[in-house]
Structure 1
Amino acid sequence: MDLSEGTDTYQMRTFSVLVMVLLVPFFAKAEDDGRPLWDWGVGLGYVRYADYPASDEYSQIMLPFPTFQYRGEYLRADDREGGRAYLFKSDSWSLEFSGSGRFPLDSSKNKARFGMEDLPLVLNGGPQLVYHSGGTWEFQVAPFFSVAAKNDYIRANGMLLKTQVTYRWEGETPGPFDSTILITGTTSFEMNAASSDYMKTYYEVGSADVRAGRSEYDAKAGFLSTNLSYYQRFAAGRSSLYVGASISDYSWSANRNSPLHKSDYNVGWGLGYIYQFGESAKPMVSPEDTQGVINRYRQHRREQRLIPLE
């Protein structure tokens, strides 16, 4: 059996299904009177991604999923800004809690890692300091704590340091049947470094895992990657279409000499569709009116001091 032919057939079938489903947004009447505080719906997504950082093999997922978006005063989790919990916020600066992650991997399905322990689910989270410039540009610095999880354990996984510059824009264009298509675009450039514990997860080769073409290697801390990504949303009425792609450069990685470092470049992409079934009657809190938990606490303390004592 030709495995490559099977993969190509699967991808073509996936693409055909998505094309038919994703045409729906362009036949709905747009609503541009603001977004609700929360909404829920269902989605269908397809993602192609590298098995692990600097791998030369890829995995793909296509699945339906429920969606819930919230745009509140302290917490925002939506398709424009991602998930953020505001700890402190001013006109130009904010301290937030955010995160990222990587899928697990069955090592038997990857040639470079065949015979090694499966890769765990990796979740990264922590505070990030963000500088906002007019709602269009953002500069972020984030020291994320990492956790690795499998069926039989949850363990600390070191740290990931991320610096990122993000540019966002919004616009609209006329659609068919007197509709309006709202468009949102996001471009991000980021640089990542990681601790030795984090690097060991992906690049360490112990003596028990040595085989032909895979020598023993002790992973070390240092620079990991630079990433350039682009994401775009097309929305009309209750429907939204998402397209996105990213390219990661590992040519300067501190562990480029690891036998598990198989490619200097990884390219990933994805498509998604969401249909919104319900929403709140209350409108969202605008990004300009959001505030952090610390802001609210300080305001509460100030108000208490102003209450006259009887």
Structure 2
Amino acid sequence: MNRSPAYVLGLCLAALPVTAMAQEQTTLPKFEAGLGGGGGWLPDYPAAGQNHLRGLVVPYVIYRGEILRSDDQGVRGRFYNSDSIGLDLSFSGAFPSSSDNNRARQGMPDLDWQGEVGPSFRLTLWRDQEIPQRLNLELPVRAVFSTDLSSVHYRGLTASPELAYERLGLGRTGSRLRVGLGPVFATGRLMDYFYRVDPEYARPDRPAYDAQAGYLGTKLQFSYRMPLTERLSVVAGGRIESFHGAANDDSPLFRNEWNTSVALGFSWSLYRSEARVNSTSSPFD
């Protein structure tokens, strides 16, 4: 998803010290816990006309199980994984956004906490084991839910195929560079959540509008994680989003054909279990 709080959360996950020393280790702690944080200058929602500074600090847990894993790639149920193909059940989320702070949405309901779950298919198109680096085609499809902490609402589906380049050890042992490019598509219910204007919220400069399913936009994003110590990592990231030709570019809430995000994050591992697991033969996993 393209929501800015989710991007900050993604930066926090990207900073987790999962493979920071994996190239030297044969085993890793099975369980880790610590603190992750991040912040940045981020758009309020896809095609928003305003950016705001946002930040958060959250506890995190890393669990390196055979099937269930939580790490810098999110919370995943690994159904199948090889050097060339992967199939995960992946989870993600986003934090709320207040409409009072956005001129286009003033007087409308806030955007609530959001969660996502669904399968993600990975096909490795090219790999170089010596550097190491790889090029993936990733195909996640997720159901989106929102909650105000008193009720939960289904908001539709997203599909976001992405061509992703990853490289380890660039500039420093244990570092990880990721660059991804791809479109985002969404069902009508999710488009309504961002772009629909019900008649009771219409005004002269914001007519009523009913959103439609289809193309949401295209994102180019990157992140670079660098371990400072065995327990402390930092990450920097950015995202450029184009909404030219989007299905709902005539919505009164559609304010900008370009969005730009920049963010910084960190992770600090406070606890590492004595129980160990063998590190995988693939340095990316």
Counterpart pick for 2:245 among 239, 248, 252: 252
Deviates more, 1:145-154 or 1:199-208: 145-154
Amino acid at match of 1:190: G
Amino acid at match of 2:181: F
Conservation of the 8 A alpha-carbon contact between 2:25 and 2:279: no
In structure 2, distance between residues paired with 1:232 and 1:281: 29
Pick the structure with more helix per residue.
1
Q: CA offsets per residue over residues 27-57 of structure 1, 9 Å max, x none?
A: xx99943543332222332233211111011
- Matching residue of 1:274: 267
Which aligned pairs between 1:35-54 and structure 2 lie closer than 5 A? Answer: 35-54=28-47
In structure 1, distance between residues paired with 2:149 and 2:121: 33
- Matching residue of 1:220: 212
Task: Establish whether residue 236 from structure 1 lines up as the match of residue 228 from structure 2.
Answer: yes
Conservation of the 8 A alpha-carbon contact between 2:74 and 2:92: no
Structure 2 alignment gaps of length 5 or more = 1-20, 128-132
Name the SS of the counterpart of 1:182 in structure 2: coil
State the identity %.
28
Structure 1 alignment gaps of length 5 or more = 1-28, 174-179, 291-310
How many positions carry a matched residue from both structures? 255
In structure 1, distance between residues paired with 2:216 and 2:277: 38
Change (3 A) 1:109 1:82: same
Q: CA offsets per residue over residues 69-94 of structure 1, 9 Å max, x none?
A: 22332123222x33321122344222
Conservation of the 8 A alpha-carbon contact between 1:73 and 1:285: no
Name the SS of the counterpart of 1:200 in structure 2: helix
- Matching residue of 2:151: 153
Amino acid at match of 2:167: W
Task: Establish whether residue 68 from structure 1 lines up as the match of residue 61 from structure 2.
Answer: yes
- Matching residue of 1:140: 138
Counterpart pick for 1:126 among 118, 126, 133: 118
In structure 2, distance between residues paired with 1:287 and 1:192: 31
Name the SS of the counterpart of 1:112 in structure 2: helix
Change (3 A) 1:31 1:92: closer
In structure 1, distance between residues paired with 2:277 and 2:177: 20
Change (3 A) 1:241 1:141: same
In structure 2, distance between residues paired with 1:54 and 1:172: 33
Deviates more, 1:127-136 or 1:193-202: 127-136
Counterpart pick for 1:187 among 175, 179, 201: 179
Conservation of the 8 A alpha-carbon contact between 2:38 and 2:263: yes
Change (3 A) 1:124 1:213: same
Give TM-score scaled by structure 1 length: 0.75
Give TM-score scaled by structure 2 length: 0.81
In structure 2, distance between residues paired with 1:69 and 1:239: 14
- Matching residue of 2:256: 263
Change (3 A) 1:104 1:94: same
